[in-house]
Structure 1
Amino acid sequence: MEVPDLRSLRAADTPVVGGKAAGLGELTAIGLPVPPGVVLPARFLNGNDERALADLLPGLVRERGVRPPFAVRSSALCEDGEHASFAGQFHSELEVDEAGLAGAVVRCARSADAKNVQHYADALGVAPGLSGQHSVSVIVQEQVAADLSGVLFTADPLTGDPDTYVLEVVPGPGSALVGGTTEPLALRLGSDGVVVTTRPDWCDESFEARVLGLCLRLRELGRSVTEHRGSPQDIEFCTTADDTVVPVQARPITSLPALSARSFDLTFTPVCHATSDELGALARLDKVRLRLVAESCGLRVGRAWIIRAQASGSPRQEEPTALPPGLSDAPQISFVLQDPARLGGSIVRRFSAVGSRSHDLRETVQLVGASHDRFALIATEIHDAELSGVARRFGDHVVAEVGFGAFVPKGVVATSQYVCTTDGTIEHTEPVRQERAFLIEQGMPRAVTIGRTPTLTPEQCRMVCQAVEVANQYHTRPSVEFGVERDGSLFLIDFVEDGADDAGPRPEDLGIISSGRLAGRVVRVDDDRALELASLDSHFHTDRPGAAPAAVHDPVIVVAALPYLSLESFIRERDATSLGFVFRNCSYLSHLSIVLRELGVPALVDRQAYDRLRADDHVLLDTADRTVAQVPEAESTP
């Protein structure tokens, strides 16, 4: 990570690159159009003086595809934190060209020595010193050609109301707004509409009308960023002449007044011992039906509880919730909103370790309860699986994939494959050595080294096929997710509908994930760590489907090691008919593989092609003859 790209960074990188850079990386994780850039970590800058940087930086930014003019900004370790923003305290420069880049970087890096930074730190009681929190990394980004700029607070900074956003906008770049030299057009975006609170003299009707037309998109942007970051945000953005909204910074709102917690009465119903009258309409929900089906057919499944919440009156400080036995002491639990199925268009999911169970439930109830007086959650027990896998019936065969640890359906690990008859007789196997796995510990994923090949016994294959046959009686083309405990016993995790047709695969065609033919240029995605984290993040946090950007028709063949779930971002950003995928290792039943088949996106497993292909090669992907062949550029251009 000597000089990382912004898009590769996540919150965990804050100690190395500072809060601002890590925050921008998090915005790219949800598909927002953050301007491309690189980060020069403080420790990298400490080893290079201005002359060395002048020799290094022009070539570096060209190599990374970052074009002038540049915005050069600080990213201190203490900056953009939950309790201290250091807003405007460090140095930034705009309209920087290649010749001036090294000088601008050095000035930003040295801005920690400024008296205003020391004074601000002293006022907040933050420990001073360049060697500690005040070490400054520097961001070099393409500068946005801003036609207007603004700041969006995703909660009212005066009242703390999370349903009211506050928006301030000025024409041109945002330096006049954040520097306080221009009075902004100010608006309040509430659940009941938009109100202009300040209309400065310079603001004409056309400018105001343009901003009002952007408010719905800005509120959606704010919602996506807030849900992703987990707290109300102070978002700086620019808008280009064609009204493309480009976020350039997001940080927690500091000193936000706390709202009183709402009070809810909670009732707990164990799913496997409940009558149909007790479950009511919830008996039709997938995670409830899974347990009822498993119970009736003698298949094991984790315990589950329906939690009904009913607002119980005026706001008050909520007391800790008394949890029933089993729910309170299960090592790992997942809370998922069931009724309604989504909150503001998003799934609500929270994993919980035993030590924080009451707190996690209370936080989930408050999150949903801010918008609903009545709702229902399901709490499901998570087994400590040695193996996990997924299986589906295709014609008169069942295909099963298995790997060590959890998250096999997320496509983050290589899997061994089995092709069986419907009664569980093994006809074909494709064993694959697995180098590492991911476990769930304390409500979070942890990577462990494996170096072994995951396998299923004939009896385990028989039980998997039995589960598939049962699932097919209640679902249309379901994939069955399962786990295997250390004693070899099998349990069900979930049923997932697969919208693809029922044809294939034959044992010799396991490498064809989705059939099709496409010519295009190669896009390599080699940052496995970022892909793994993004795929796991989608499982451990509320889903955050922001406004989808316009589809791009630029035929590309995406090359990656595994069908990571996070690669679905390519589908959101592009016309699905202009996409193909080549993977090094196969996972025919991963979530991404299911989506690729449903959309008819060609995808092939070809280790030799994975090793051979380079970025911007032009190739023809044809699954009919299992080839990825080089072609002239003209043949891959639509």
Structure 2
Amino acid sequence: MMTEMLHSMESLPGKYRHMAMLSEHHPVPPLTLVTEKELSTWLERFDEVKFAVTNLEEHIMITSGAFLKKDLDEIAQQVRRLRWKHDATASLKAMLKSIQGSDTSLNVAVRSACQAEDLSQHSFAGIYESVLNVESIDQLKAAIIKVWCSAYSVRAIMEKLEAKVIGSAESMNIIVQQMIDPELAGVAFSCDPVTGEDTLYIEYVDGVGETLVSGEQVAKRITKDAVMADHQQVFEQLTTVVTSAKDLLGGHVDIEWAYQNGVVYLLQARPVTNVRKQATSTKPQFACYELYDELPGSIQSELPAYALYFNRKRKPLHDIGKHFGCGEVGAVILELNRHALDQVPTQQRILDLFFSERQVIDFSDAVRQLTVSKEELIDQLKRLMTDPNRLHYVVLRDFVRGQYGVITQQVLTNEGPTLVAEVSEDGLLAMNRGSAVSQMLSLSAPDANTLFSGADLRVLHDVTTCALEKLGDIQIEWVFSNGQFYALDYSSVGESPVVLTDNTSVMSPGFARGSVFVVESSEALENYSIAPSMSLTDIPDASVYGDLFTSIIEDMQSLSRRPIIFSKRPYAALASLLPYVSGFVFEKGSLLCHLGVLLREKQLPAICDDQLFHQMTHGESFELDTVSVK
């Protein structure tokens, strides 16, 4: 059956393709490939489940894991829907007969053969499930579902995020292979796996090799200079097999093998991946650094870019806020592995760092701004740390929603430059990403303090004034919680200041003529706007949001003139549409939101006008003149 598939070699997953080609020259236990096309005919609701989990993976990728817990729970619910069709048994028996010559005496291994596996830069070794010694049809059915579902385990998704192949709809195929009863089994490399030296490196255990790769048995070495007489055949045959595999794969290889009755059988072959080795330790490792302190030079080269960004960008504002008596949130960088996290004293030490009921986890470049309750924090970190030995650098911060989100900025009015505070009960995150409704207050207005329970507004004025002097043209992002102002971050506002009119509805001045183009609100639009992957300084390419804007852009490009977008809120993800439109009308929104900053920089007119938003219909001709608004 393997030979029959050689004509379509390029379409086959790497693991199976390598075995198919090497089987022409070396002993390989009989095996066959179960494709997702076959799974679709054997399993009820397979296509629905595959479509759903692919979309959920894409959502995880686009949102950088900001909704990871919810998405993983939904994936788990989806894969549990798989059931075998009644007529699938006959097909399974026919498949077994093709590799065993019979469907009665059953003993096979079921392994993964994902297209995103055994890649030159990422092997995914040990990430997916394998099931050995499958001895009945019922066991085979359970094993196939178990292996296929392992492509959507927490560990697999974290690995795919790191390899940047998540959400790609790659097929998770299955290898079913005849089991053998080996005397020895192990792994062999064409280079030293630690130093990279060009040499044959062999490890083995007695019996099946899974006890070696899983760590259940301590491996023994076979070396050229110390080959025992009874291992001479093994060494000679492996030399030939490894050399052949290296030539075929075009670089250093890692193979799994088994030795039975004088013959070395090849079980798997994959390229040795060329990736940066991660620091690991089998012992607990833990250190804690304040996020806004001067960081030791010894760890700066190890820190992910976002951790350095937090430290270098936000530290100056933190220092200004501290000088003027602003509130301070818990914010740290943890250096730790899972072994440390399993210790109760370490868990308590982490929890004691924070006062809020919720925290934000920045775990990796691929998993950012994951907000969890304090009682879930330790379990969520454990869930993310799929390798107990690997050393991680994790940024943890208190999530303080507070009673109000606040953005302060210097704007232009008829009286000249004025410091204002835009305030929203919807919270700071909603303000920044465009889903909030807000109101504008002058920091010098006598009635401004009615919102803040008597808190001293001078801290907003003084911190903003000082930051403008030291950091340039910026707006500062705050949270007001329980009588205290917290200065959390700032954003550059460029050279296009906000010009406030009396009714404070103009987001960006200008004139535009075009047809009304209504963009409906959706959960995806809101989620993608909240996601940390959302660019806050540049216009993101619409393709990063999958199919969200595909049909919208196609429709807009078919028009003779760039349209004017009508959207309920100034969602940040709408920035992807800026190259295709001439202006925006929103029902309501924050004038100082991130989309507003981009609109002013690009000189695209925009206004928040409830009445105008509801009186126009899709396709209607319209002139937008925000300059004349009073």
**What TM-score comes out, normalization by structure 1 length?**
0.49
Q: By percentage of residues, which structure has more strand?
A: 1
Structure holding more helix per residue: 2
Q: Which has the higher contact order (CA 8 A, sep 6+)?
A: 2
Q: Which structure is larger by alpha-carbon Rg, 1 or 2?
A: 2
